[in-house]
Structure 1
């Protein structure tokens, strides 16, 4: 990394005071469009140096939230506080310097096709009125940071999607922002390119201490890069916490649905045979995390509650260096006294246990 970039980003003249831990604070934010509440009492903080992911389905309120953050949308009630300053009542002239503290990267890149890569990166500095030599020097530093120094004189049409997004990231960093907003920045990219862009953002966060707020509908993006996640649904934050904790024990139906594609699910051939009662085997879902997922849970279970059971599906993954697992067990249903003992043992080991149903015969 270019050390000059690090020094400039850390320059106290461009950084918030060291004792200001919250870069963003939202307090009971509400915004309606006609009879429809786009935001319905959102309260949230983004701490200095962290990556916060906000995830939700289309129409959940993500776009309105990000427009309120950069001052393009005014909330009906509530507060938007950026680096200690409430922006809801600021005029357009007062908002301009504050907007320079917020970098923005977009799903479709938003590059100017008639300008070279270096001129696209330098554009925020041109708007500020900085001398051309200073603008180009800064652009060169940032293109080096994102690995595109050799493309400085190229035009956007000559770039791949991933390269265009790297230019977008460099442009967003040009004015040395305190906050980087990412609005579905990887949704238009293929999986391999998405991974490289997320790795770049994580590296920038680590090297520069830059605060990042990600808006996405993809839980895999959250898993790859975020420190904390907030789940938004119908304009409300329905769940919030460290990523590994939310993955391990999702409380809301929308979170469980969003996690469905990346957490183990009961295979259809078993799920389609489930009935509420009776049957030859009881199917249990067991969610574990942390120490419970590190130990020999199943062998300990077999010792503590003797008798047959079978692992029919599942596994242990790692999120934020924490083990998170989902296991599906089939337990013979001919011993009514044993099942409560199995469940009690698992819950004593801090596992979350759910009886999914019963299957006739064996699975």
Structure 2
């Protein structure tokens, strides 16, 4: 039986409605350091899963284990229902045709034209020149570069180079697209256009994408689900809006600090243990963020309180926000206000007190 056909046809049947990738208790050490330390994770068919962590957290090692460039010390990796960790180099070749890869620094061949770069995986497969060029033209049209087919990479912008990289990754019609920090070398505007392209490809082709990044803004923009990795372990996992609304791990809260509302530094610097106004942080999501929470509070508990700072964002169609509320301590109703807010599915934290207006 032709090995390539068995991966593409039988694998697609096994994953229909299920997992394209399943990782079970994966471990990989370098010397005495555990780069991947017991990770278990699934990537569902048709979803975009974001894996985020700081530099050195183990993201790159994990993705290299997935495409067979690293051998794990322990654990299992299933791709389209097949266990791959014991495969030799020859048997890994059909697997790699099922996995497309886009890179941070594009990895284009400078001596080849754009269409030749895109068609290269098909040339390696032994496809005819007519088939290669037809597929390259189709993909360049998909990524908006139909007019650049005969250009060379040196004449392209960074965003155009990454679009070529995406087209090349799709050439062999993969079941899974791996994106390793694909937007890290791009400016913010170009990053947004590339993320929009990935989301469009995901929706139009039903392509499963595993996205490695250290930027929460990337996760917020494009991912369906997020897994946070720290010191080789998955420390938090869930729907993107849910994790953003109520992060549990310290590393997640740290990664979110740049894009969630934060108490202004001028106010934070003046917080103390006592004062005539308590500053509350109120995290809201879902139904709690849709209701007129402060209006309800003012009706139920008359007294002096005010909105100091904050805002509401929408992630995956769900409202998620943080409000900083100042409550007068002289009324003696701070605990009552906190109980009222907690009863409405918010998360409330007393950050401290200030002595005068801020």
Q: Which category of TM-score, normalised to the shorter sequence, fits these structures?
A: over 0.9
Question: What is the match of residue 348 of structure 2?
Answer: 353
Q: Which moved more, 1:316-325 or 1:18-27?
A: 18-27
Determine if the alignment matches structure 1 residue 321 to structure 2 residue 317: yes
TM-score, with length taken from structure 2:
0.96
The question of whether the paired residues in 1 share the 8 Å contact of 2:49 and 2:226 is answered with yes
Within the candidate set 93, 97, 100, 2:94 is matched to 97
**What is the rounded CA distance, in whole Å, between the counterparts of 1:335 and 1:38 in structure 2?**
53
Cα distance, 1:13 vs. partner? 7.9
Maintained 8 Å contact 2:15/2:81: no
Shift of 1:359: 1.1
Distance 1:118 1:22 in 2: 32
* Aligned partner (choices 326, 330, 342) of residue 330 of structure 1: 326
Q: Are positions 1:272 and 2:273 aligned together?
A: no
Aligned to 2:75: 78
* Superposed CA offset, 1:260-306 (max 9, x none): 1110000001101111x211211100000001101100000111111
User: Any unmatched runs of 5+ in structure 1?
Assistant: 1-10
Deviation at 1:18, TM superposition (A): 5.6
Q: 1:130 matched to which residue of 2?
A: 127
**Residue 285 in structure 1 maps to residue 281 in structure 2:** yes
Task: Specify whether residues 15 and 161 from structure 1 end up closer, same or farther in structure 2 by C-alpha distance, changes over 3 A only.
Answer: same
Give the Cα–Cα distance (whole angstroms) in 2 for the partners of residues 86 and 197 of structure 1: 32
Q: Which residue of 1 aligns with 2:58?
A: 61
TM-superposed deviation, 1:112: 0.1
The runs of at least 4 aligned residues of structure 1 exceeding 3 Å deviation read: 11-20
Q: Does the residue aligned with 1:93 lie in a helix, a strand or coil?
A: helix
Match of 2:337 among 310, 320, 342: 342
Task: Give aligned pairs, total.
Answer: 351
Q: 1:362 deviation in Å?
A: 2.2
- 1:1-363 equivalence runs, <5 A: 15-17=12-14, 19=16, 21-275=18-272, 277-336=273-332, 338-363=333-358
Separation in structure 2 between the aligned mates of residue 85 and residue 14 of structure 1, nearest angstrom: 8
Residue 20 of structure 1 deviates from its aligned partner by 5.2
Provide Cα deviations, 1:84-112, integer angstroms capped at 9, x if missing partner.
11111001111100110000000000000
CA contact (8 A) 2:48 2:209 kept: yes
SS at match of 2:331: coil
Contact 1:285 1:356 in 2 (8 A): yes
In the alignment, structure 2 segments of 5+ residues that lack a partner are 1-7
Partners of 2:12 and 2:36 lie apart in 1 by: 30
Report if aligned partners of 2:176, 2:209 keep a CA contact under 8 Å in 1.
Answer: yes
CA RMSD of aligned residues (A): 1.2
Contact 1:20–1:83 under 8 Å retained in 2: no
Structure 1 contact 52–213 (Cα < 8 Å) conserved: yes
Name the residue aligned to 2:5.
none
Deviates more, 1:206-215 or 1:27-36: 27-36
Distance 1:162 1:19 in 2: 33
Contact 1:42 1:237 in 2 (8 A): yes
In structure 1, the residue corresponding to 2:131 is in which secondary structure? helix
Question: 2-side partners of 1:14 and 1:245: how far apart?
Answer: 31
For residues 190-225 of structure 1, the C-alpha deviation after alignment (integer angstroms, 9 at most, x for no partner) is 111101100000000000000000000000000000
Distance 1:330 1:284 in 2: 6
Shift of the 16–179 alpha-carbon distance from structure 1 to 2, 3 Å rule, reads farther
CA distance in 2 between counterparts of 1:342 and 1:16 reads 55
